[in-house]
A = this chain, B = another copy of it.
Amino acid sequence: MSITLGQYIFERMNQLHVKTIFGVPGDFNLLLLDYISKVPGMRWAGNANELNAAYAADGYSRVTRLGCIVTTFGVGELSALNGIAGAYAEQVGLVHIAGVPATSSQNNRLLLHHTLGNGDFTVYRKIKMSAHLLNVNVMLKDITTAPSEIDRCIREAYIHQRPVYIGLPTNLVDIEVPRSLLDTEIDLTLPETNAAAEEEVVSRVLDLIKGADNPIIIVDACCARHGCRGEAQKLIELTQFPTFTTPMGKGAVNESHPRFGGVYLGDLSSPDVKEFVNNKADLIISLGAVLSDFNTGAFTHRFSTNDLIEVHSDYTKIRNATYERIQMKHVLNTLLGKIGSAIKDYKPVELHFPSLKQKIPSASGTGKVSQEYLWKAVAKFFREDDIVITETGTSSFGIVQSKFPNETLGISQVLWGSIGYTVGATLGALMAAEESKKPSRRVILFIGDGSLQLTVQEISTMCKWNLKPYLFVLNNNGYTIERLIHGEKASYNDVQPWKHLKLLDLFNAQDYENITVNTDKELDELFTDQKFAKNDKIRMIELHLEEMDAPISLIEQANKTSQTNAS
């Protein structure tokens, strides 16, 4: 008939299919952790540190739409903060629960450990509020309102795809609340749309489409993040407009579709894509765009405001007019219902995108592995349902050149760009993939030797759970992305060389494989090896690459970044 508040919070997460809770134990959250195992099918990941846990919850959420991290007060929540900020910047739904001292300790301003020594227990909430890193943050104090406050936080995280914070004092964890509260599901309906504005938006969009000769669609990250991948796909099917994506949007659209044209990133796009988007298109329907430096070829996107419709998660912009309170999902569905008449005179142009048709090269069999070869050849290895995770650096820039099969999920932190992120995110994606009941769903990480060092211990958590990722370590002797920006020979861009292939043994992996790749022939054999293709063990693949070899888009981006920094 009743249930503890501690269990209540996890039952709520469970109702939204969050089955793994990430975090690190600490004395202010231990009572709470007891309740994770009380929820059938739920597990405590037990991360190696809090920043990694936040990254993992972020990676998990990108697969499932919601993630959860539990930390202790003070030390734990501050360690996680960079990961929480990344979830804010990149629009990822996350619930951060911090176990905090008992309300009596807070009221008496006790000089507890994990405090700043000044009796102020509110600094952590202030940190996050003032930074606008959270949509909601609450410190629970009153058991009668606690369940509804929890529900409100979870709702906000889910529908806005942003992090929220719940401070849970130790003395409230074991207090009981009515179990019947769980019978009413958390309301996840989107905020109400401004109907009059939506009508105007749809009408203007239809008019612009009617007047256009070469309309195109660009699907970007926030379209997928706000659950509109399906609506975007239907729009492409109905209209047959040529479609593009962006570095952040990789995986948000079916790249095998005949009307897919490639990845647009301003002047750093391949010449055929650049020519089409910049010069041929006379109307751009942009879905969920994030116009950040690394997503636009250093702001070289050439959209004319006159030709632009920007559909964002909760507003739409047409030419210079902004329409507030327009929900992306809602407006797209309305548009899908009415678009037929607008496109009846549209004659699909024949598309020629040589960059997409490039034959995957065969290895010459003598040469070293080049970045150019790697990112083209890896397309042979990818298959439907893969989750492909690329670290900021040569990997996140290189993957733009790799064609994804349909239903491939790309994960990369293109805007926030916190190096080391992907090791945690890989753990999170692995847990989510395992729970999706598709054991064949593969999680494939590409990370450089420099970034790996920041968060390496989270591979241990993968070993603990007997997960089976592909961990490609691109060993190019340090921070190549930094060398390209500044300090090619500077020792600050070196890292201590590690014996990477000893990591899995160190972390006590039970069933693992280590592979070294020195030549393009070896790489080619690997990517076509059927045994390797089966994700039946954890694998570390160390690729030896030249120090200054990089995808051409990164080289150009680095030049531009270097100029901006000096100006």
A120-B102 contact given A27-B482, A566-B171, CB 8 Å threshold: no
A418 to B494, CA, bound (A): 29
**Contact of A566 (CB < 8 Å), options: B37, B74, B102, B112:** B102
**Contact of A49 (CB < 8 Å), options: B101, B454, B499, B564:** B454
A 183-218 contacts with B by CB, 8 A: none
Question: When the two chains form their complex, are residues B113 and A565 in contact, meaning their CB atoms are under 8 A apart?
Answer: no
The reply to whether the CB of A132 lies closer than 8 angstroms to some CB of chain B is yes
The reply to whether the CB of A419 lies closer than 8 angstroms to some CB of chain B is yes
A74-B85 contact given A44-B491, A498-B506, CB 8 Å threshold: yes
A117-B565 contact given A46-B495, A418-B79, A508-B496, CB 8 Å threshold: no
Question: When the two chains form their complex, are residues A171 and B565 in contact, meaning their CB atoms are under 8 A apart?
Answer: yes
Q: Provide the residues of chain B in CB contact with A494, threshold 8 Å.
A: 46
Q: Which of A78, A170, A417 has the most CB of B within 10 A?
A: A78
A116 to B131, CA, bound (A): 9
Report A66-106 CB contacts with B as 1/0, cut-off 8 Å: 00000000110011011001101110000000000110110
A interface, size bucket: 35 or more
**Which residue of B is nearest A99, CB measured?**
B565
**Contact of A499 (CB < 8 Å), options: B111, B290, B454, B505:** B505
Question: When the two chains form their complex, are residues A116 and B457 in contact, meaning their CB atoms are under 8 A apart?
Answer: no
Question: When the two chains form their complex, are residues B120 and A49 in contact, meaning their CB atoms are under 8 A apart?
Answer: no
A 282-305 contacts with B by CB, 8 A: 290-294, 299
Report A389-426 CB contacts with B as 1/0, cut-off 8 Å: 00010000000000000000000001111111000000
A113 to B560, CA, bound (A): 13
**Which residue of B is nearest A77, CB measured?**
B82
Question: When the two chains form their complex, are residues A490 and B117 in contact, meaning their CB atoms are under 8 A apart?
Answer: no
Q: Provide the residues of chain B in CB contact with A453, threshold 8 Å.
A: 48-49, 457, 460
The reply to whether the CB of A437 lies closer than 8 angstroms to some CB of chain B is no
**Contact stretch, chosen from A122-130, A263-271, A358-366, A375-383:** A122-130
**Contact of A111 (CB < 8 Å), options: B123, B291, B495:** B291
Question: When the two chains form their complex, are residues B89 and A117 in contact, meaning their CB atoms are under 8 A apart?
Answer: yes
A495 to B46, CA, bound (A): 8
A 206-265 contacts with B by CB, 8 A: none
**Contact of A102 (CB < 8 Å), options: B89, B115, B567:** B567
Q: Provide the residues of chain B in CB contact with A118, threshold 8 Å.
A: 132
Question: When the two chains form their complex, are residues B486 and A31 in contact, meaning their CB atoms are under 8 A apart?
Answer: yes
Q: Which of A85, A105, A505 has the most CB of B within 10 A?
A: A85
Question: When the two chains form their complex, are residues B293 and A418 in contact, meaning their CB atoms are under 8 A apart?
Answer: no
The reply to whether the CB of A33 lies closer than 8 angstroms to some CB of chain B is yes
Q: Provide the residues of chain B in CB contact with A130, threshold 8 Å.
A: 123, 126-127, 130
A305 to B478, CA, bound (A): 58
The reply to whether the CB of A331 lies closer than 8 angstroms to some CB of chain B is no
Question: When the two chains form their complex, are residues A133 and B113 in contact, meaning their CB atoms are under 8 A apart?
Answer: no
The reply to whether the CB of A25 lies closer than 8 angstroms to some CB of chain B is yes
Name the distance in Å between A13's Cβ and chain B's nearest Cβ: 16
A39 to B328, CA, bound (A): 55
Name the distance in Å between A358's Cβ and chain B's nearest Cβ: 28
A126-B117 contact given A460-B453, A495-B46, CB 8 Å threshold: no
The reply to whether the CB of A516 lies closer than 8 angstroms to some CB of chain B is no
A37 to B293, CA, bound (A): 31
A155 to B289, CA, bound (A): 46
The reply to whether the CB of A114 lies closer than 8 angstroms to some CB of chain B is yes
Name the distance in Å between A420's Cβ and chain B's nearest Cβ: 6
The reply to whether the CB of A311 lies closer than 8 angstroms to some CB of chain B is no
Question: When the two chains form their complex, are residues B565 and A31 in contact, meaning their CB atoms are under 8 A apart?
Answer: yes
The reply to whether the CB of A519 lies closer than 8 angstroms to some CB of chain B is no
Name the distance in Å between A179's Cβ and chain B's nearest Cβ: 22
Name the distance in Å between A504's Cβ and chain B's nearest Cβ: 11
Question: When the two chains form their complex, are residues A116 and B292 in contact, meaning their CB atoms are under 8 A apart?
Answer: no
Question: When the two chains form their complex, are residues B33 and A492 in contact, meaning their CB atoms are under 8 A apart?
Answer: yes
A46-B85 contact given A79-B418, A294-B113, A414-B113, CB 8 Å threshold: no
Q: Provide the residues of chain B in CB contact with A33, threshold 8 Å.
A: 487, 490, 492
A486 to B562, CA, bound (A): 52
Q: Provide the residues of chain B in CB contact with A124, threshold 8 Å.
A: 131
Report A467-506 CB contacts with B as 1/0, cut-off 8 Å: 0000000000001011001110011111111110011011
Question: When the two chains form their complex, are residues B102 and A485 in contact, meaning their CB atoms are under 8 A apart?
Answer: no
**Which residue of B is nearest A494, CB measured?**
B46
The reply to whether the CB of A535 lies closer than 8 angstroms to some CB of chain B is no
Q: Provide the residues of chain B in CB contact with A111, threshold 8 Å.
A: 290-293, 299, 415
Name the distance in Å between A464's Cβ and chain B's nearest Cβ: 4
**Contact of A460 (CB < 8 Å), options: B36, B46, B75, B498:** B498
5 inter-chain pairs at a CB distance below 8 angstroms, sorted by A residue, are A30-B485, A30-B487, A113-B292, A170-B566, A464-B496
Nearest 3 A/B pairs, CB to CB: A78-B82, A75-B418, A30-B486
